[in-house]
Amino acid sequence: MSEKLFNKISIIGFGFIGSSIARLIKAKSLANEIICGDINPEICEKAINLELADKAYTNISQAVRDCDLVILSIPAGAIKTIAEIISPHLKKNAIITDTSPVKQAIIKDISKFIPSDVNFVPAHPIIDKVFLTSNTDLGVFDNSWCIITPLMHTELKAIEKVSLLWDKFGSKIEIMSPEHHDKIFAITSHLPHLIAYSMVKTIAGLEDDIRAEIAKYSALDFQNITKAASSNTIIWRDIFLNNKEELLDILQEFTQSLTSLQTAIKNSDIDMLEKIKKSTNPKL
Amino acid sequence: MSEKLFNKISIIGFGFIGSSIARLIKAKSLANEIICGDINPEICEKAINLELADKAYTNISQAVRDCDLVILSIPAGAIKTIAEIISPHLKKNAIITDTSPVKQAIIKDISKFIPSDVNFVPAHPIIDKVFLTSNTDLGVFDNSWCIITPLMHTELKAIEKVSLLWDKFGSKIEIMSPEHHDKIFAITSHLPHLIAYSMVKTIAGLEDDIRAEIAKYSALDFQNITKAASSNTIIWRDIFLNNKEELLDILQEFTQSLTSLQTAIKNSDIDMLEKIKKSTNPKL
CATH number of the domain within which A209 lies = 1.10.3660.10
- CA distance readout (Å), A278 to A109, B163, B192, B212: 43, 40, 21, 17
- The residue among A214, A27, A17 whose CA lies nearest residue A130 is A17
Kindly state whether residues A214 and A273 are assigned to the same domain: yes
User: Looking at A176, A197, A232, which one is the last position of a domain?
Assistant: A176
Answer whether residue A20 is part of any domain: yes
Tell me the per-residue pLDDT of B95-139, one tens digit each, with 9 for 90 and over: 999 999 999 999 999 999 999 999 999 999 998 765 445 567 788
Kindly state whether residues A171 and A209 are assigned to the same domain: no
What is the spatial distance between Cα B69 and Cα A280, in angstroms, rounded to a whole number? 41
- The residue among A229, A222, A219 whose CA lies nearest residue A198 is A229
Kindly state whether residues B49 and B161 are assigned to the same domain: yes
Answer whether residue B29 is part of any domain: yes
Q: Which amino acid is at A75?
A: P
Residue A97's SS3 state is: strand
Of residues A183, A192, A233, nearest to B274 (C-beta)? A233
Question: What is the percent of chain A where pLDDT is above 70?
Answer: 94
Tell me the per-residue pLDDT of A212-246, one tens digit each, with 9 for 90 and over: 999 899 877 888 888 888 888 888 999 999 999 99
Q: B146, B172 in Cβ contact below 8 A?
A: yes
ipTM computed for the complex: 0.87
Kindly state whether residues B189 and B164 are assigned to the same domain: no
Residue B284 is predicted with a pLDDT of 45
Contact list in B for residue A81 (CB cut-off 8 A) is none
Kindly state whether residues B144 and B267 are assigned to the same domain: no
Residue B130 is predicted with a pLDDT of 55
Answer whether residue A283 is part of any domain: no
Q: Which amino acid is at B268?
A: S
User: Looking at A120, A151, A176, which one is the last position of a domain?
Assistant: A176
- What range defines the domain where residue A273 resides? 180-278
Residue B281 is predicted with a pLDDT of 47
Residue A130 is predicted with a pLDDT of 55
Taking an 8 Å cut-off on Cβ atoms, the answer to whether B214 and A189 are in contact is: no
- With a CB cutoff of 8 Å and minimum separation 6, the contacts of A274 are B233, B237
Kindly state whether residues A75 and A165 are assigned to the same domain: yes
Best B187, B216, B240, B267 member to test A by mutation, with max A CBs in 10 Å, is B187
Best B141, B276, B278, B279 member to test A by mutation, with max A CBs in 10 Å, is B276
Name the stretches of chain B with pLDDT < 50.
1, 131-132, 281-284
Q: B35, B53 in Cβ contact below 8 A?
A: yes
Angle at CA B196, nearest 5°, toward B192 and B197? 120
